[in-house]
Structure 1
Amino acid sequence: MKVPLKISLKAVAIVLLPFTAQAENICQGYGPQTPRDITSTDGSNMADVAFAPPSSEMNLCNLHTHTNAEHKGPGYAVFAGAGDHGGYQCNEADSLTEAELSAPASSAYHGVKPGDTIEVHWVYSSCDITPGKGLGSCLSEACVNPQLRVEAQVFLVVNDAKALNFMDFAYQNNVVDGRHQPKALPSGTGTPVTFIGSTTGTSYTQEKCSPFQVTWSVRPQCAKLDINSLNAWAEAGNVFKEDHSHGVRQLVTAKELLAPIN
C-alpha cells in the first residue's frame, strides 16, 4: 500500500507544478485587467476602484481601433488565434457576400480589409483636456490621475455603402455642454456590459499588467461598418493621428485579474 501512495503523491506533484508556476507568473498587486469574456461575470479582483461618470460627463480624449476584437462576446466569439494579431472575430465573418468582400478604391486606413473584425475604442477622461494622439492625450500636467472610461463597439468591416458610416461616430471638434464628444456612439447592438478593467494593447499580458484603471462599456453584438468610411476618416486627417488599426491584447482569463460583473 505504501508504494502506490508514493507514486500517487509524485504524480499529483507533477500535475500541480505547471499550475503553481502559472499562478506565480500572474501579475500581483494590480487592479482588474482587460480584455475579458463579457459573457462571464466571474472575477475575484476586488480592488476598490470607483466607476467613472457617464461618457457625456467626460471629455473624449482618444479614438482608435484594434483589428479583431480584444474582448470576447455573444456576437464575436470566433477565436482568431493567439498573439498580437489574434483575438476574436464576428460570428458572421464567414457569411459575407463577394461584393461585401471586394477591395475598396482607397486603402488610406491601414491594417484593415473587408471581412475583418475591428474593435473601436472611444476613450474618455475626467481631465480638462483636448482630444489627441494616444493615452497621453487623456492626461495633463494638472491632471495626472484621471478617471478613464472606454466605450467599445465591435464591427464587421464590409465594402458596402449601406453599412454604418464611421464618420457618424467620429470626432470633428464636437463640443456638447463644454465637453469634447464624438458625433454619436453606436446603438442597437445590445445593452453595454459595464465593468472595471484596465487599458489594453499588445504591451500587456497576464504576466505584465496595466496600471491604469478604466471603466469599460462594451456592446455585446457586432454591426457592419463600411470600410470606405474608415478610409475617408484617415484621408480627412484626424486629431488622433490614427491611420492604422492596432494589434490586440490577449484575453485575460485569470479570475484574480478580473473584477466581478454585477
Structure 2
Amino acid sequence: MASCALALAGCANETIAAETDAATEADVSAQVETVEQAGLCLDAGPQTPRDIAGVYGLNSVTFPKAPPSTEMNLCNIHTHTNAEHKGPDFSVFVNDSDYGGYACNATQDLTEAELTPVEGAYGKVKPGDTIEVHWVHTTCDAAPGEGLGACVPETCTDPLLRVEAQVFLVVNDESAADFTELAAVRQAGGVWQPGGIPSSTGTPVSFRGSTTGPSYNQMQCSPAQVTWSVRPQCTKLDINSLHAWAEEGNVFNETKSHGVRQLVTAPELLSPIE
C-alpha cells in the first residue's frame, strides 16, 4: 500500500510539474503576443527618452559607449519644450502633445518677477517653461553646424554619438544661467567644445539610447545609436539670454525650441542602466 501511495504521489507531482510548465509557456506566449499586438518596434535598438530614475530595461541590443564628451567634437546644440526625459527634479507631467513632456518640480514656486513676460527672437519658450537642452557630440571630424546631419558627415563612417542633456527652468532673471555662454563654441585640445555645461546639477545618468523628437514613438523608433548623459536636477536659465542667442545668430541656425518625444516606457525598448 505504501509503495502504491508513493507511486500515486509521484504521478501527481509529474502532473503538477507538467501543468506548471504549460502555464509558464502560456504566460510567456501571452506576453510576447501582447508586445506584438502593441506594435512596438522590437527590431530597433534601445530608445530615448526614459525615466532616468529607473534602471530596468530588456532591450538586448548593445553598441560601444561613446568616449567622454571632452574627447569628442561638439556638433549641434538645440532645445526641446518641455523636458523629454523624466527625472527626480522634473517629474511633473504636462501633456502628451508635441510640446508636452515634463516640467521642473519647482515651477509652481516661481515669483511674479521671474514670470514676467518678455518678447524676443527665440520662439516656443516663455518664462515659467521647462526646456531640455541637448549638446550633441560626435567622434567624426566635424564642426558645429545645423541639425543632426552636422554630426554625421558623409565622409565619416561608424561614428559614435553622445548627448549631454540638462533640463532648465526658464525665468526672467538675468542672474540665472546665461545661455549665450553655455551655447558658445570653442576649440580645446583639438576638438570643438561648448562654452559650458552645468556641473552642479547632480551626477549624470548614462545609458544607451537613440535620437528623440516628436516624429518618433514606441511604434516608430529611431535607428540611431546614442550614448546619453542626463543630469537629474533642474536649474534656472535666463529667458533674455535665449532671445539674445537667437538674435545674434548662431552656427546651429536655431531660432525656436523643438517638440518632444513622449516617454518610452516599454521595457523591451529600454536598455538596462549599468
1:245 aligns with 2:257: yes
Q: Distance in 2 between matches of 1:40 and 1:91?
A: 18
Q: 1:40 aligns with which of 49, 54, 73?
A: 54
1:64 aligns to 2:78 (yes or no): yes
Distance 1:73 1:28 in 2: 25
Counterpart residue type for residue 63 of structure 2: V
- Percent of pairs identical after alignment? 62
1:134 to 138, 147, 152: 147
SS in 2 for 1:25: coil
Say whether 1:161 aligns with 2:147.
Answer: no
Matching residue's letter, 1:225: L
Give the TM-score, by structure 2 length. Answer: 0.87
Aligned partner (choices 94, 109, 128) of residue 108 of structure 2? 94
Give 1:171's aligned residue: 184
Q: Structure 1 unaligned runs (5+)?
A: 1-15
1:51 is aligned with what amino acid?
K
| Among 23, 31, 36, the residue aligned to 2:45 | 31
Matched residue type, 2:154: E
Letter in 2 for 1:83: S
State the 4+ residue runs in structure 1 displaced beyond 3 angstroms.
21-24
Aligned to 1:81: 95
Amino acid at match of 2:165: A
Residue 21 of structure 1 and its aligned partner are, at CA, apart by 6.4
Q: 1:24 Cα deviation (Å)?
A: 4.4
Any idea what SS the aligned residue of 2:159 has? coil
1:180 aligned onto 2:192? yes
Of 230, 233, 251 in structure 1, the residue corresponding to residue 242 of structure 2 is 230
Q: How big is each residue's C-alpha offset from its partner over 1:204-234, in whole Å with a ceiling of 9 and x where there is no partner? A: 0000000000000000000000000001100
Three-state SS of the structure 2 residue aligned to 1:181 is: strand
Q: 1:22/1:95 Cα in 2 relative to 1: closer, same or farther (>3 Å)?
A: farther
| 134-143 vs 116-125, greater mean Cα deviation | 134-143
**2:27 equivalent in structure 1:** none
Q: Distance in 1 between matches of 2:143 and 2:84?
A: 26
Give the secondary structure class of the aligned counterpart of 2:93. strand
Secondary structure at 2:247's aligned position in 1?
A: helix
Distance (whole Å) between structure 1 residues aligned to residue 144 and residue 50 of structure 2:
27
One-letter amino acid of the counterpart of residue 200, structure 2? G
2:130 aligns to what? Answer: 117
Q: d(CA) in 2 for partners of 1:22 and 1:53?
A: 35
Aligned-CA RMSD value: 1.9
TM superposition score normalised by structure 1: 0.90
Distance 2:170 2:38 in 1: 40
Deviation at 1:144, TM superposition (A): 4.0
The answer to whether residue 211 in structure 2 is matched with residue 213 in structure 1 is no
- For 1:41 and 1:192, the matched residues in 2 are separated by 13
1:76 and 1:141 map into 2 onto residues whose CA distance is 37
In the alignment, the residues of structure 1 paired with residue 155 and residue 46 of structure 2 have an alpha-carbon distance, to the nearest angstrom, of 26
Give yes or no for the alignment of 1:54 onto 2:60.
no
Deviations 1:138-180 (A, max 9, x none): 01121143100000000000000111111221123x0001101
Count of matched residue pairs: 247
Pick the structure with greater CA Rg. 2
**Aligned AA for 1:37?**
D
SS of the counterpart of 1:206?
Answer: coil
1:102 CA drift (Å) = 0.2
